[in-house]
Amino acid sequence: MNSNADKIKDLRVWVVSGGNSSEAQVSFSSGKAVEEALRKSFADVTHAHLDFALKRSLTLLSRPDVIFPVTHGSLGEDGSFQGFLNILGIPYVGSDVTACALAMDKILAKTMFRAAGIPVAKDILCDRHDDPIDAATRAMDAFGGACVAKPASQGSALGISFCGTRAQIVEGIAQALALGQRALIEPRVIGREITVAVLADPEPRALPPVEVVLPNGARFDYYHRYTPGASRHVCPALLPTETLARLEQIGVAAHNALLCRHYSRTDMLLKDDGEIVVLELNTLPGMTETSLYPDAARAAGIPFEDLVKRLVDLALVRASP
């Protein structure tokens, strides 16, 4: 008779990455890292792509016991793939349909955050039917010249424009709407880039906050997020104990507000006066060599291979009768 360890070893684990979003390449990098780490714990690990062929593969008898989605952007992170797995009855790592959909939509996420008392920036909304000049004028009146225009449903800082004039805001709205149906205009907040990872094992707890240190004048854009050496991670962030505690509290509150499960990562800005502003929550944090979530886990004493195995275990425990 096999031991429990042998049974776990024999589980079929699929890592799914890719898709048709603008973040697919980052997803592939994350998926490769997760696959390699899981092979240290499981004998049967397959790396599959989020494409049309996956549907057929998942409906065959050889389908996996558990799936580890490492997908970013539309379809993979907005709840679509998670809903498909629910229909098939396949356990998976990460949040369910509701949490993924809420987190992907910055407008809905901010609504939930405000209801939970979580600090977020003020905003003005604009969709394809609105007059962008009118929206830009309202933003100038409300926030002054320093604004940020962003898509409502994109990650990895894609489509974000930093604006100083009405014309720049109008252009920023156009760029944001090229990537989605709605755009947000927010006042530009100057502060330290902080992120808080949360691991639910089983109760949500914050891992040590990470500060992202950028070269002078740089912004935490796509390049600085995913290029090795383009930014530096300080973990735990060198901040007063009470500030760290407040950041951790907000990270857990954000996780709970969007009904997340297993893990999440919330990005924030810490202003010089101590005010904290939540930017967004990621239900499927990046797992590349430059990613923040693995750094936070290591600072908490959790090696990467232990982290991904623990996440698979959490998915299986939840799926158990």
Q: How high is the pLDDT of residue 217? A: 60
Q: Which domain holds residue 162?
A: 124-187
Q: 156 and 66 share a domain?
A: no
On whether residue 183 sits in a domain, the answer given is: yes
Structure tokens at 172: 């920023």
Cα separation, 16 vs 49, in Å, equals 5
| Domain harbouring 149, CATH code | 3.30.1490.20
Q: How high is the pLDDT of residue 160? A: 86
C-alpha separations of 15 from 12, 28, 95, 186, 225 in Å = 10, 10, 15, 36, 22
| Domain harbouring 223, CATH code | 3.30.470.20
Q: 13 and 44 share a domain?
A: yes
Q: How high is the pLDDT of residue 178? A: 86
Strand, helix or coil for residue 215? coil
Q: 194 and 301 share a domain?
A: yes
Q: How high is the pLDDT of residue 4? A: 45
Q: 169 and 268 share a domain?
A: no
On whether residue 164 sits in a domain, the answer given is: yes
Domain count along the chain: 3
Q: Which residues lie below 8 Å from residue 177, measured CB to CB, with a gap of 6+? A: 126, 127, 128, 151, 183
Q: 155 and 237 share a domain?
A: no
DSSP string, 217-233: T----HHHHHSTTSSEE
**């809420």: which residue's tokens?**
102
Q: 223 and 181 share a domain?
A: no
Q: 195 and 300 share a domain?
A: yes
Among candidate residues 280, 198, 206, 293, the one with its CA nearest the CA of residue 243? 206
Q: How high is the pLDDT of residue 224? A: 47
On whether residue 320 sits in a domain, the answer given is: no
pTM of the model: 0.88
Question: What is the chain's pLDDT, residue by residue, as a tens digit (321 residues)?
Answer: 344 454 456 789 999 987 666 666 777 888 999 999 999 999 999 998 887 777 777 766 578 999 999 987 777 788 999 999 999 999 999 999 999 999 999 999 999 999 999 999 999 998 888 888 999 899 999 988 799 999 888 655 677 888 888 899 999 999 988 888 889 999 999 999 999 999 998 899 999 999 998 766 655 555 545 555 657 899 999 999 999 999 999 999 999 999 999 999 999 999 999 999 999 999 999 887 678 999 999 999 999 999 999 999 999 986 554
Q: 209 and 302 share a domain?
A: yes
- How buried is residue 249: exposed, middle or buried, by Cβ count under 10 Å (0-12/13-18/19+)? middle
| Domain harbouring 65, CATH code | 3.40.50.20
Q: 233 and 110 share a domain?
A: yes
Cα separation, 283 vs 116, in Å, equals 18
Q: How high is the pLDDT of residue 1? A: 36
C-alpha separations of 51 from 8, 41, 54, 56, 217 in Å = 28, 27, 6, 10, 39
On whether residue 57 sits in a domain, the answer given is: yes
